[in-house]
Structure 1
Amino acid sequence: MRDLTSTEEFHELAANSPVVFMFTAGWCPDCRVIDPIMPEVESTFSDYTFVSVNRDAFIDLCIEKDIYGIPSFLAYANGSESGRLVSKDRKTQEEIEAFLSNLSK
């Protein structure tokens, strides 16, 4: 999973490719729990580019996109939001995969 480097990169990726943004933070224990499963999830859903968004570095973007809990996922396809899994709750691999399976591309 690559790291987001700028707000401009966020908007470019959202406009041009099927992408899933994972909002996270180094201090978030629930985020660390899902880190080991994400390579398998990314492999299963290889049609998407997965991008890690550090909540602390991109707090304005989080506010703009109504991301108030982490870990959270925001997906885009064809230039518009195609789904969101946003809450402060811990996510399981099954929940993440079910979310991704229901996205329209």
Structure 2
Amino acid sequence: MQEREALSALKDGQVISIHSTSELEAKTKTAKKASRLVIIYFTAAWCGPCRYMSPLYSNLATQHPSVVFLKVDIDEANDVAASWNISSVPTFCFIRDGKQVDKVVGADKGSLEQKIALHSSK
């Protein structure tokens, strides 16, 4: 029962906002148990390219319901950004089995879509 609740907390097809390191760890741990790909989108309210990428990221979440789409505002959760050594936004980190397997830095829609296709099929 608890495992089913944890899986439903991954919100298939939706972007989940992360506000703390512990929240991020809980989501990635649940995704690892379910063998799901996780994408962490590091963003900021003041970032122009992020405003362009955010609706695209939400759209990708609906297109790939088996992938866990997380979003971290670096100003709200600067401890999370620091622990991931984020130096620019937008940055997208791809996590599989608890380890980073890829990364996209910048508002590169094509590269993001390619890497989702590549890693979600594994």
Q: TM-score, normalised by structure 2?
A: 0.73
Q: Deviations over 1:45-100 (max 9, x none)?
A: 22111111011122222222121111111122222223221x3x3222x2211121
Kindly indicate whether the alpha-carbon contact (under 8 Å) linking 1:21 and 1:74 is maintained by their aligned counterparts in 2.
yes
Q: 4+ runs of 1 displaced by more than 3 Å?
A: none
Identity among equivalent pairs (%): 23
Count of residue correspondences: 102
Kindly indicate whether the alpha-carbon contact (under 8 Å) linking 1:2 and 1:50 is maintained by their aligned counterparts in 2.
yes
Q: Give the structure 2 partner of residue 52 of structure 1.
A: 71
Q: Give the structure 2 partner of residue 23 of structure 1.
A: 42
Q: CA RMSD in A?
A: 1.7
Q: Deviations over 1:4-33 (max 9, x none)?
A: 132101112222203211100111100001
In structure 1, stretches of 5+ residues that fail to align are none
Of 85, 97, 101, 2:113 maps to 97
Q: Map 1:24-43 to 2 at 5 A.
A: 24-43=43-62
In structure 2, stretches of 5+ residues that fail to align are 1-14
Q: Give the structure 1 partner of residue 21 of structure 2.
A: 7
Q: TM-score, normalised by structure 1?
A: 0.83
